[in-house]
Structure 1
Amino acid sequence: MTHTTSNYRRLTTTVLALACLLLSPLSFSQSLSESDVQAFIRSMQAMQPLQDKYQDVFDAEEDDADDDIDFSRLMSDGIRRMKGHPAYNEVESLVKQQGFSDIENWASIGDKVVQAWFALEMGAQSPQIQAEMNAAMAEIENNPNMSEAQKAQMRAMMQQGMSAMATGASAPEANKKAVRPYLDQLKAVMDTEE
């Protein structure tokens, strides 16, 4: 039985290693170009009338969104939740007009742009933010006026913040380099979306 278990583990390890080798080029080979970033910004600017038209839908989507947000997939998750609504087809038509092959391609590029933007914004502030989060967590844990349920809720919110920081830190350098020249434009267009 030990020999069989050993062979099984070796086989599992080999299969996982091969899967990683096969999948990693697909995941990481496509870095952002400056033209990707420009096209994404143009698409967000062009999307403003749709944002206004479907504001109630987008607001309801935000309210229904899971508390456990994957900051590396903000755009993709938003598109996934929008499926089945008339706004989906209009967004897809708009992003195709902006040069994207389809809505999933747009969302994938958008995910990379937002992640790189987030990484650049957080970069210099990361140690200070981490220290503040640790201090806030200690304050929560030591607060006798908070119930365990309230503490659990606060821990979940802090975990979300830490997840956001980790996501930002994992943005590839090539993507941050592509986004850096467009930070002001990106901030402006994303502020109008909020």
Structure 2
Amino acid sequence: MKTICTLFFLLIAQLSVAQTAAADNRPSDAITFQPIPKGPDIYGFFEGRIPCEGIVPQLQLVTDKPCEKLKCRLELHRDPASSKPTTFKLRIVGAGEVKQQDGDSYRLLNMEGTWHTEKGMPGDAKAGLYVLEPATVNTKLYLWKGDDNVLFVLDNNKTFRTGNEYYSYTFNRIVPVPGK
């Protein structure tokens, strides 16, 4: 019995090791039926399913009640010559205007604006942030760059938002692929 317990605890310890970058760590493919923008100005595409709480009032979103999650796709553009950030497009399913499709309905909002980078957040003066400034709402959306493939949605104080057991405030880099 002692041997079984020891093996069990060793297995648990091995599984609890933090995730590390791997050579095959690459963005996931994401099927889309929308046109896929291409060109040297595309910095990247990110996707996430985030909780409504906190983000709905900040971005002044219209949603159904109750609102559990928003499905988001973020498209970041930059100047091809200087690589400086320029514009963004944020597609939010679950907020915005009601759309009809195949006898069903859903909400959709396409938000656009500009973005830039800045440094610093509480506890980490060197943290790399992406700051989205929507054209239609007087707010800033702060994203902490965890690495090249992960962005964390911060609150207005540049601190981490806490998700729930189903959804987190995380955007993961994706590679859009056309659906058939």
Asked if Structure 1 and Structure 2 have the same fold, meaning a TM-score greater than 0.5 normalized by the shorter chain, the answer is: no
More helix by share: 1
TM-score, reference length from structure 1: 0.23
More strand by share: 2
The structure having more radius of gyration, on CA atoms, is 1
Higher relative contact order (CA 8 A, sep 6+): 1
TM-score, reference length from structure 2: 0.25
